[in-house]
Amino acid sequence: MARPTGDTSPAIEKDLVRHGDTFSFFQIVRLLERIQKDRKDLLAKRDVPAPGDRTLESRIRPSLSLDFPQSEVADVRPLPEGHEIITTFLGLYGVSSPLPAFYTEDLMAAELEDRTAARALLDIIHQHLYGLFYHSLKKYRPLYRVVEDQDPTYLDMLFSLGGLRDRGTREKIRNPYRLLRYVGLFSQQPRSALGLETLLQDAFPGIGAEIIQCVARRVKIPPDQRLTLGDPSCHVGVNAMLGEEVEDRTGKIRISLGPMTREQFQKLLNDSEQWDTLVFLIQFYLTVPLECDLELILAENEASTATLGSAEWSCLGRNAWLFSGSYCGQMRSELHLHLPNRSL
């Protein structure tokens, strides 16, 4: 069965055997490793005993030749128990050998007489040597460790770049792996309104986002800081304030989402997964305690009038509007977000 992203495993395997010299060494070993792993998983699903470990390894040896190499790999040959990869580098014999050429010449002469013991002995070293070389290449390519091997160590490293190493934090959102996409935004300090706009626009495709900063609000003055008679720190015209509240523009933002269709609007309000994702992204991105108002903008002619008994447009303060006629402009629903673990 073909995979959504490419050819079937048998097709890839045939291509490797026919055109092995056109692939890099790393790519050949990686693809054969994936093919062998897929076969093992398929046998496990069918309750068929898996073959021994020998079938899950490729035999790697250098080319017994002094010809000038055209690529890293000279040939890929199928074997009854896996594959044999013939390389042109990093060998104790062959054109790239650090040893004198007569060693390779002696092995070539012995090969003609079917005396392969000496080469087989060196190939024991080669198998281990090429294995170390392959794993050293793979170690610094996290894409394969994460996507193909699903190595939890590398996943934790990537989550740590965005401050998401704690599993409890990641479990607050369904499919936390999507957060890896935003590691670059989460790692920025200080965090900006543009970063939050970019984050929300990507998380909710087709819905525009705008962050309005420095929104006016009224905040209470702590009792010990209010104006009192006899307090030497209260100077008229400098720092004296009358009353119990003061206007502030440093502690509140408004997030405007839209314009959106009625399907997007209803899904955002009624789908707990989308709503939880929205709240989590805003809460996690904001590193300072801010009040946050959310404004949802419904596109023109997308709203319907409130009617008795209707379950769709009947929530006061969210999606209920009174208007007459067949045309209505943009409708706005304003909500105050109560962000957990925030002391405002």
The reported pTM is: 0.69
CA 162, CA 241: separation in Å to the nearest integer? 42
Strands 291-298 and 245-248 turn out to be unpaired
Q: CA end-to-end span of the chain, whole Å?
A: 56
CA 201, CA 278: separation in Å to the nearest integer? 11
Band of residue 86 on the pLDDT scale cut at 50, 70, 90: very high
Which H/E stretch holds residue 139?
helix 117-139
Band of residue 146 on the pLDDT scale cut at 50, 70, 90: confident
Name the residue with higher pLDDT: 294 or 7.
294
- Please list the alpha-helical segments (H only) found in 25-72: 25-45
Token pair listed for 337: 């977000």
Q: Give the max Cα distance, the chain.
A: 112
pLDDT, average across residues 273-295: 91
Band of residue 62 on the pLDDT scale cut at 50, 70, 90: very high
Band of residue 52 on the pLDDT scale cut at 50, 70, 90: very low
- Report how far apart, in Å, the C-alpha atoms of 5 and of each of 1, 2, 302 are: 12, 8, 38
What does the DSSP 8-state code read for residue 55?
G
pLDDT, average across residues 172-195: 89
Angle 313-314-317 from CA coordinates, rounded to 5°: 100
pLDDT of 48 above 60: no
Domain boundary assignment for the chain: 9-140, 149-187, 191-214+250-344, 217-249
